[in-house]
């Protein structure tokens, strides 16, 4: 090699995904059976490492990946939003509900005996009754997650203390 100098180019933040790092993703969720597109986001932030910002199966698959990597992850319903829980389907008289909850698609909150807040969607209205569903809309579905890693950075001490990523850091 001659006397040439080599200049190394600084890339963007190409850290590998690991515990206590903030990950920014683009993702698409589809139903694994029907291929129906269910949700798309092009700018999701989460704190990696078991803080609850992503399903464990997703975190495990992303571990060690870096900016630019693309993954496709199949998740059975029990590793994503869980199965359908029949006790979260309620038939309620419209007289017991606020008027804005008398239409299909309306969302209202209820409280369990343990004090947990549950969002219910009105999925049917008939004969003075409403059928409410407190399951996640994707419950009971096997899902395909298509992910692209957009950025990886060290979490701030405030993010670690809070247990979740801040969008603007």
Alpha-carbon span 117 to 114, nearest angstrom = 9
3-state secondary structure of 5: coil
Where does 21-81+140-162 sit in CATH, by number?
A: 3.10.50.40
User: How is the chain split into domains, by residue range?
Assistant: 21-81+140-162, 86-133
Residues pairing with 25 in the sheet: 44, 149
Burial 107-128 (b: 16+ CB within 10 A, else e): ebeeeeeeeeeeebbbeebeee
Alpha-carbon span 64 to 152, nearest angstrom = 11
3-state secondary structure of 65: coil
The model's pLDDT over 91-124, given as tens digits with 9 standing for 90+, comes to 999 999 999 999 999 999 988 888 889 999 999 9
The model's pLDDT over 41-56, given as tens digits with 9 standing for 90+, comes to 999 999 999 999 999 9
- pLDDT value of position 2: 60
Alpha-carbon span 38 to 137, nearest angstrom = 9
Alpha-carbon span 51 to 19, nearest angstrom = 10
What architecture is the 86-133 domain classified under in CATH? Beta Barrel (2.40)
The model's pLDDT over 1-28, given as tens digits with 9 standing for 90+, comes to 567 777 665 555 558 999 999 999 999 9
DSSP per position, 100-161? GGSSTT-EEEEE-TTS-EEEEEEEEEETTEEEEE-S-TTTT--EEEEEEEEEEEEPPHHHHH
């Amino acid at each position: 090699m001659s006397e040439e100098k080599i200049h190394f180019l600084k890339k963007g933040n190409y850290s590998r995904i690991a515990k206590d790092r903030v990950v920014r993703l683009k993702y698409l969720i589809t139903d694994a059976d029907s291929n129906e597109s269910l949700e798309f986001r092009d700018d999701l932030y989460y704190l990696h490492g078991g803080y609850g910002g992503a399903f464990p199966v997703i975190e495990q698959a992303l571990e060690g990946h870096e900016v630019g990597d693309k993954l496709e992850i199949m998740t059975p319903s029990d590793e994503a939003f869980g199965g359908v829980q029949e006790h979260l389907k309620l038939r309620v008289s419209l007289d017991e509900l606020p008027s804005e909850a008398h239409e299909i698609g309306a969302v209202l909150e209820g409280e369990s005996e343990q004090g947990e807040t549950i969002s219910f969607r009105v999925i049917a209205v008939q004969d003075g009754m409403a059928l409410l569903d407190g399951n996640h809309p994707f419950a009971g579905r096997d899902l395909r997650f298509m992910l692209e890693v957009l950025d990886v950075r060290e979490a701030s001490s405030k993010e670690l203390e809070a247990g979740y990523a801040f969008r603007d850091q």
